């Protein structure tokens, strides 16, 4: 895949269709200025600061902007909080609407037809494929992202993290947990073998 990407890039540059400096700036943006590390900061702040958590759940776009995070497809954000009885899962059934500013580029599986259809028809099966098995007491809510609204899942804070600072907590928060197909690293969840989408 990397060889193909480099070949395509070389052809576009050689043909005068792409400015290499502009391409470098775009890559730099998605490697450092947007991405799941920013969403992880949002989640960690919500875990530490109850007032911020309430603002995030009440108006995610403004609360995320408080941390200086803005950008493409980061408008009209809604935060969804996982609890011991509710697990949220995000999908875009029509295309691949996705909050780039807090999660970076969407993973290939997020855009795939199997994920988009099964997330709606068999959300527990999808979660199991990702290694997350929930008890019968936990309801799964599936949220369909659109051009008008995008979602960020606030996963449950792992046990044993009392006294941790924001940076250390953020290191536990994965992109998959903020989509709802995973849990923070270090969090315990029963799982069963399954193939990832």
> How do strand 86-91 and strand 77-81 relate by DSSP bridges?
unpaired
Active site (annotated) includes residue 117? no
Q: Between 50-58 and 36-48, two packed helices, what is the crossing angle to 10 degrees? A: 120
> In the chain, which residue ranges form alpha helices assigned H by DSSP?
2-14, 20-28, 36-48, 50-58, 60-66, 100-103, 108-111, 113-121, 123-129, 166-170, 175-179
Active site (annotated) includes residue 195? no
> In 29-131, which residue ranges form alpha helices assigned H by DSSP?
36-48, 50-58, 60-66, 100-103, 108-111, 113-121, 123-129
CA distances from 12 to 6, 16, 19, 20 (A): 10, 6, 9, 9
Active site (annotated) includes residue 97? yes
Catalytic residue among 10, 95, 112, 185: 95
Q: Which residue shows structure tokens 């960690």?
A: 44
Strand, coil or helix: 174: coil
CA distance 170 to 47: 10
Active site (annotated) includes residue 96? yes
CA distances from 195 to 4, 93, 130, 136 (A): 26, 21, 7, 22
User: What are the catalytic residues?
Assistant: 92, 95-97
């Amino acid at each position: 895949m990397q060889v193909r990407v480099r070949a395509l890039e070389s052809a576009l540059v050689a043909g005068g269709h792409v400015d290499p400096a502009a391409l470098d700036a775009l890559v730099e943006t998605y490697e450092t200025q947007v991405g799941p590390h920013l969403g992880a900061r949002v989640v960690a702040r919500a875990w530490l600061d109850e007032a911020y958590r309430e603002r995030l759940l009440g108006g995610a776009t403004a609360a995320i902007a408080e941390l200086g995070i803005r950008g493409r497809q980061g408008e009209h954000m809604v935060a969804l909080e996982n609890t011991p009885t509710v697990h949220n899962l995000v999908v875009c059934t029509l295309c691949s609407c996705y909050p780039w500013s807090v999660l970076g580029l969407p993973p290939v599986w997020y855009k795939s037809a199997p994920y988009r259809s099964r997330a709606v028809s068999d959300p527990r099966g999808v979660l199991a494929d990702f290694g997350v098995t929930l008890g019968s007491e936990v309801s799964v809510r599936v949220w369909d992202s659109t051009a008008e609204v995008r979602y960020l899942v606030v996963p449950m804070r792992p046990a044993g993290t009392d006294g941790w600072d924001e940076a250390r907590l953020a290191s536990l928060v994965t992109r998959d947990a903020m989509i709802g197909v995973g849990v923070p690293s270090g969090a315990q969840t029963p799982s069963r073998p399954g193939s990832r989408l």
